[in-house]
């Protein structure tokens, strides 16, 4: 039977009822992450969101280069091009599969413009060391 391991990032503190990531075999599922600054523009929020995801991936032995799937949630689909300009700087040569949808969340009412969750591969060697 495959074991599920929950990861609570020391970088972000515990969130009620949510793991920052769940590890299943060689895959890591990162929860929906957003930016630190809810007053920033969508470009800054996209950058911060990707950096937050990067932090969690590195904590569990993965990286942005190992991301297989990204789901992007935008408060306003008219921000797509501006979000994509930042996103494309991080996922260049061999980009992951991606879905992008317009959605609402409780934080969107506070100014959050973007949220992302990812699925990535973990290096087996890194996982065994943890």
Average pLDDT over residues 105-129: 82
Q: Where along the chain do its domains lie?
A: 4-129
Taking the C-alpha atoms of residue 100 and residue 84, their distance in angstroms, rounded to an integer, is 10
Q: Is the pLDDT of residue 125 over 80?
A: no
The answer to whether 30 and 69 are in contact (CB under 8 A) is: no
The answer to pTM > 0.85 is: yes
Grouping H, G, I as helix, E, B as strand and the rest as coil, residue 111 is coil
Supply the pLDDT for residue 126.
Answer: 57
Going by pLDDT thresholds of 50, 70 and 90, the confidence category of residue 46 is very high
The answer to whether 118 and 53 are in contact (CB under 8 A) is: yes
**CA 82, chain centre distance (Å):** 18
Q: Is the pLDDT of residue 130 over 90?
A: no
Q: Is the pLDDT of residue 61 over 80?
A: yes
Q: Is the pLDDT of residue 128 over 80?
A: no
- How many other CB atoms sit within 10 Å of the CB of residue 94? 7
Question: Which three-class secondary structure string do you get for 45-83?
Answer: HHHHHHHHHHHHHHHCCCCHHHEEEEEEEECCHHHHHHH
Q: Does domain 4-129 have CATH number 3.30.1330.40?
A: yes
Give the DSSP H/E element, type plus range, for residue 97: strand 97-102
Going by pLDDT thresholds of 50, 70 and 90, the confidence category of residue 100 is very high
**Radius of gyration from C-alpha coordinates of the chain:** 15
């Amino acid at each position: 039977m495959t074991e599920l391991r929950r990861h609570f990032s020391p970088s972000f503190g515990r969130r009620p009822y949510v793991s920052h990531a769940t590890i299943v075999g060689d895959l890591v599922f990162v929860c929906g992450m957003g930016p630190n600054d809810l007053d920033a523009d969508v470009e800054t929020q996209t950058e911060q969101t990707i950096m937050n995801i990067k932090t969690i991936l590195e904590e569990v032995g993965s990286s942005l280069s190992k991301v297989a799937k990204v789901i992007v949630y935008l408060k306003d689909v008219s921000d797509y091009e501006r979000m994509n300009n930042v996103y494309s700087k991080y996922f260049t040569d061999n980009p992951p599969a991606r879905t992008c949808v317009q959605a609402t969340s409780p934080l969107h009412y506070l100014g959050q413009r973007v949220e992302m969750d990812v699925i990535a591969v973990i290096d087996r060697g890194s996982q065994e060391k943890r």
